[in-house]
A and B are shown apart, each in its own frame.
Chain A
């Protein structure tokens, strides 16, 4: 009466399985991120530069508009910033480190300066932004 159903030979076709697995693979490849983020906690700065101490017990990091960094007027390379600052401070860890950002300086330099100030062992760090640093 009815035809006998055709018996499939051996294993069923693998193509749909492969399709689905490829789809999943591409989905995970596109949605995952391997970016390792870290966090740097800073206390929010005083609203104006006037509140920062300006006497001799201050060391200034200048973030200049041409994307270079200077410590108290001496230009330093970014990768030796932490060491130079440590040298400049020496034993006088009661110094205040002030970070002055000139117009045109970038956040990358600011982060580098904040980290250097933190690693140098100075007790207090202040930040201020200025239009132009008088040299």
Chain B
């Protein structure tokens, strides 16, 4: 009969070390690879786009929901009236450029209506936020 050497029973922490290694690795991966952003009030699915103008640090972000309503901060408003609110919120000077996060399923006319209202309020340039990919 062949006899094998009995493996000595391992102590508990020794078997846990590979697990800890992997978990640490994952932890460091998420620390380095991810970016943390403050969450918006409303979640929108951004439309896909190909161009990037790299506009950053815009004073205000308007969010257009899929049903066409517009959010500025924690206030919800009609697309037609948003220009007035932006003016009130930022003053004449602060609102030359604003960012617009529109849902990809939002009606295009709501976005256009919003941009027209913004022009009347003195906003010269609107930055539409898109997701990379085409």
Contacts and interface: CB of A to CB of B under 8 A. Distances in A.
Contacts of A33: 34-37
Interface in B62-119: 64, 97, 99, 102-109, 111-113, 115-116, 118-119
B126 A41 contact: yes
Tell me the dominant secondary structure on chain A's binding face.
mixed
B51 A115 contact: yes
Interface string B9-42: 0010100100110011011001101111100000
Given A79-B134, A115-B49, A43 B124 contact: yes
Contacts of B107: 103-107
Most buried by B among A25, A29, A107: A107
A104 B68 CA distance: 11
Interface stretch (A6-14, A52-60, A88-96): A6-14
A101 B130 contact: no
23 contacts: A17-B20, A22-B23, A25-B30, A32-B35, A34-B35, A38-B53, A40-B52, A40-B129, A41-B97, A41-B125, A41-B126, A42-B126, A42-B128, A43-B126, A44-B118, A105-B107, A107-B64, A107-B105, A114-B128, A115-B49, A115-B51, A118-B51, A127-B112
Interface of B: 11, 13, 16, 19-20, 23-24, 26-27, 30-31, 33-37, 46-56, 64, 97, 99, 102-109, 111-113, 115-116, 118-120, 123-132, 134
